[in-house]
Amino acid sequence: MTIKLARFFMPAVLVVSVAALAQNAALPAAPSAAANNAAGPVATSATGTRMGTINVEQAIFATNEGQRDFEVLSKKLEPKQNELKGMNDEVESLKKQLNTQGEKLNDESRGTLVKQIEQKQKSLERSVQDARDDAQNQQNEIAQRILQKMGPMIVKYADGNGFGVIIDTSNPWPNGPVLWAGPAVDITRPVVDLYNAQSGVPAPVRPAAAKPTTPAAKPATTPAAPKPPGTQPK
């Protein structure tokens, strides 16, 4: 069995359980005075009637702080990913050796090789699981920290814009509660913009795309002057 290393190290969409985060960082419906002082003015009661949606998971990753911190974590996990790749390559090499030389080996040598493969395979699987758990925990720590600061902002934005209910759409239907919602009621982008403005974290700098090279223009040629009528060519 080949271990798919790339599936658990910082994929394009990281697996963060918003439901699990909410247990420790629930969005406050009526924050205390201390929370209000720490996070700025937050509504204590919802008076709006509009219904809105927000993809909390997407919002966390879209913030400048989230992009920065998840990128740092990705680089931090690279050595472990390379280590596991080396272990996986070793197992695959031994399997290839067994497939190509197995019939030529005596029973004892073949049995030793099979046992070696089994031991290294089990060690790899344990290491993969440990690495996956560690990566997940560190990802959730970042997401939970951002969510704790984002919660009061969601409430503040919703109250200031006439929303009475905000539903999280991080889990698509049928796993989530929303079958369909139009973009007009989605507040994910405005909340991200509000978070970025208050966090003061600059947008990550992306490497500039290489400009395509254009062939050098050929020098313009001056057309020959027309010869007068009746002139014989030389």
**168-178 per-position pLDDT tens digit:** 999 999 999 99
Quote the CA–CA distance of 13 and 10 in Å, as a whole number.
8
Of residues 210 and 114, more confidence is placed in: 114
Q: Where are the alpha helices (DSSP H) in the chain?
A: 18-24, 33-39, 56-62, 64-101, 107-160, 188-199
pLDDT confidence bin for 140, thresholds 50/70/90: very high
pLDDT confidence bin for 150, thresholds 50/70/90: very high
Instruction: Provide mean pLDDT across the span 132-136.
Output: 96
CB 159 within 8 A of CB 46: yes
The pLDDT tens digits of the residues spanning 40-92 come to: 444 445 577 899 999 999 999 999 999 999 999 999 999 999 999 999 999 99
pLDDT confidence bin for 221, thresholds 50/70/90: low
In this structure, the strands spanning 50-54 and 163-168 are parallel
Q: 154, 189, 186: which is closest to 61 by C-alpha? A: 189
The confidence score (pLDDT) of residue 85 equals 96
Torsion of CA 125, 127, 133, 137, to 10 degrees: -160
Q: 149, 171, 161: which is closest to 60 by C-alpha? A: 149
Q: Alpha carbon of 195 to those of 61, 123, 146, 201: distances in Å?
A: 12, 43, 9, 9
**In the predicted model, is pLDDT for residue 13 greater than 90?**
no
Quote the CA–CA distance of 23 and 14 in Å, as a whole number.
19
pLDDT confidence bin for 188, thresholds 50/70/90: very high
Q: Where are the alpha helices (DSSP H) in 102-207?
A: 107-160, 188-199
Give percent of the chain with pLDDT exceeding 70: 68
Of residues 195 and 48, more confidence is placed in: 195
The confidence score (pLDDT) of residue 219 equals 52
Torsion of CA 15, 18, 19, 25, to 10 degrees: 140
**In the predicted model, is pLDDT for residue 164 greater than 50?**
yes
pLDDT confidence bin for 213, thresholds 50/70/90: low
The confidence score (pLDDT) of residue 200 equals 93
**In the predicted model, is pLDDT for residue 197 greater than 60?**
yes
